[in-house]
Amino acid sequence: MANNKRPGPSAKERMAKPRNEMPLHSAEERIRHFNEVPTGYSLEQAMDEASRCIQCKKPDCIGGCPVGINIPEFLLQLEGGDVAGAAKTIRQNNFLPAACGRVCPQDKQCEAVCIVGKKNDSVGIGNLERFVADYEREHDLDRMPEIAPDTGKKIAVIGSGPAGMTAAYELRVRGHDVTIFEAFHRGGGVMVYGIPRFRLPLEIIDEDLKLLEEMGVEIVYDMIIGRTLSLDDLLETEGFDSVFIASGAGLPKMLGVPGENLNGVYSANEYLTRIYLMHANYFPEHPTPIYQGKKLAVIGAGNTAMDVLRTGKRLGAEVTCYYRRSHDEAPARSEELEHAEQEFIDFKWLSSPIEFIGDENGFVKAIKCEVMELSEPDDSGRRRPVPTGESFTDEVDTVVFSLGCDVNPTIPDSTRDVTTNKWGIMMVDPVTYHTSKPGVFAGGDTVTGGSTVILAMGQAKTAAKYIHEYVMGNFEYELNVPTDPEAPGVQWGFAK
Ligand SMILES: Cc1cc2nc3c(=O)[nH]c(=O)nc-3n(C[C@H](O)[C@H](O)[C@H](O)COP(=O)(O)OP(=O)(O)OC[C@H]3O[C@@H](n4cnc5c(N)ncnc54)[C@H](O)[C@@H]3O)c2cc1C
């Protein structure tokens, strides 16, 4: 399985080498600030870690990456100290490597299928992708791709999250005139207003947006498509030949239990957006406020919940996570859960809120939970929580719901012909990502109902390929856009 012609240690020796752990700020120190938690590999550590790759002849890691990065190739270049070459290799497939190196669920993707991981810890592919991208940025290496001659075709992209940014990049590289329309005053989508600074520093996304603009992509901020301009306007009066919808899934889900409307109860989106986009923690210097309580309850145990818990901790609250299943079923990325556990956060597993209790002024003062136990696995393969009949009440002064999001209805509600299922997820042809409206494609959270940065990017890459064919007049497919309101959203996102 390994490429034995390679000089240096044998595959067996490489497989026996211990993984270079990512250096971190201590938990005691990091909860006092919003700086990034990992401090990054040195060049020597990165080269050593890359040398643990055994260069398999059939590398599963490439297939494990939704955008198909040639992982063995970049690791070989990095092992030899050719960081610029490694950066070029990664960039052939991934336009956002610094973000992906930090937030991708590598433990469930490329690293999960790494052969070294069968005998030892898998190669630290995510940490190395991050190292290469940071080195490239810090050393100001040339990131400008080759751009094909102008095609004269105009394409609108709605939303500047990872799906929108990736589609814009892929379409501009093919020579099209691309405009991104973004509702907020900043670009980056959830990578900017959801994922906290201690996981993904802002300057990384700003650099990627700057590159898009240098490539000639126009970004129009403060423009809600579906309000100021409609999708039909873009196609009928604004002269766009095609539109890619990448407006994400930003409509929070709540539990539907009494007391959810009390003051001090937030959705995760609102809480994080107020802090990271509006700087509410610096009120009144910034105009948007947030209630900074002393006892924060977070409902849910996914990535978003971990971000809220850790943000609340940094704002000085005593923080508790309430989740109806147990630790092993928590959907958060394992590293995020581990970091939250290190940061003195309390976890109440098998606890399902049934009521929020308010004081005489309408502010939340307590949370009542039912104690759960686990029964047989459900459709997701995780064991189903069932009530035990016991309950408990905790005093709290802030509650944040982190139960996932639905797709915002603004675009389908304001447009003819774009169909959704009964949960509001946009329906697309599963091969081309074409919607039910001619010339309109969609990808990312708006078609999955909520997923990951890399899957949104994988879908956008695929959609861009077909948008190119569409505007160039080579689009000949029998489309299969589901019409059944019960049909699920697209569940995958590997670039094809
Ligand atoms: C707190 C949090 C933590 C997360 N952590 C991780 C993680 O660790 N790893 C990971 O891989 N994924 C994570 N995710 C999920 C990931 O961020 C999303 O899957 C990803 O951002 C989806 O990309 P997108 O481009 O489809 O949508 P988004 O990132 O949501 O971007 C959509 C953009 O469209 C804009 N928009 C919406 N409607 C309109 C309109 N009508 N007109 C114009 N613009 C519009 C929005 O303002 C936004 O900028 C996290 C999500 C959250 C909320």
Read off the pLDDT of residues 261-301 as tens digits, 9 standing for 90 and up.
999 999 999 999 999 999 888 888 888 888 888 999 999 99
Which atom belonging to ligand 1 lies closest to the Cα atom of 165?
25
143: confidence class by pLDDT, cuts 50, 70, 90: very high
What residues are in contact with ligand 1 under a 6 Å CB criterion? 103-104, 158-164, 181-184, 189-191, 194-195, 224-226, 246-248, 250, 272, 303-304, 307, 333, 408, 410-411, 444-446, 451-454, 456
pLDDT of 236:
95
Give 451 Cα–ligand 1 centroid separation in angstroms. 9
**Distances from the Cα of 250 to the Cαs of 17, 53, 186, 339, in angstroms?**
43, 39, 16, 25
245 vs 396: CA distance, rounded Å: 40
Q: Looking up tokens 């003051």, which residue turns up?
A: 263
Q: In the sheet that 177-181 helps form, which strands lie side by side, from edge to edge? A: 218-220, 177-181, 154-158, 242-245, 440-442
Q: Higher model confidence: residue 412 or residue 7?
A: 412
Q: For ligand 1, atom 14, which residue shows the shortest CA distance? A: 452
Span 233-237, average pLDDT: 96
Report the relative pairing of strands 383-395 and 364-377 from DSSP bridges: antiparallel
pLDDT of 377:
87
Task: Single out the residue of 66, 52, 65 nearest to residue 118, CA to CA.
Answer: 52
Q: For a substitution probing ligand 1, which of 224, 303, 307, 410 has the most ligand atoms within 8 Å of its CB?
A: 303
313: confidence class by pLDDT, cuts 50, 70, 90: very high
Task: Single out the residue of 296, 303, 313 nearest to residue 269, CA to CA.
Answer: 303
Q: Where are the beta strands (DSSP E) in 120-170?
A: 154-158
Q: Which domains does the chain have, with CATH numbers?
A: 11-138 (1.10.1060.10), 154-250+407-471 (3.50.50.60), 254-404 (3.50.50.60)
Q: How many Cα atoms sit within 13 Å of 52 on the Cβ side?
A: 26
pLDDT digits (tens, 9 = 90+) for 360-402: 999 999 999 999 999 988 887 888 999 999 999 999 999 999 9
pLDDT of 359:
97
84 vs 74: CA distance, rounded Å: 10
* pLDDT > 70 in the chain, percent: 98
Span 414-418, average pLDDT: 89
Which stretch of 128-137, 175-184, 481-490 has the lowest confidence by average pLDDT?
Answer: 481-490
How high is the mean pLDDT of the chain? 94
pLDDT higher than 70, residue 1 = no
Q: Is 274 helix (H, G, I), strand (E, B) or coil?
A: helix
Which atom belonging to ligand 1 lies closest to the Cα atom of 104?
11
331 vs 303: CA distance, rounded Å: 7
pLDDT of 283:
83
252 vs 49: CA distance, rounded Å: 40
pLDDT digits (tens, 9 = 90+) for 148-192: 999 999 999 999 999 999 999 999 999 999 999 999 999 999 999
Global pTM value: 0.94
pLDDT of 416:
81
Task: Single out the residue of 239, 241, 224 nearest to residue 155, CA to CA.
Answer: 241
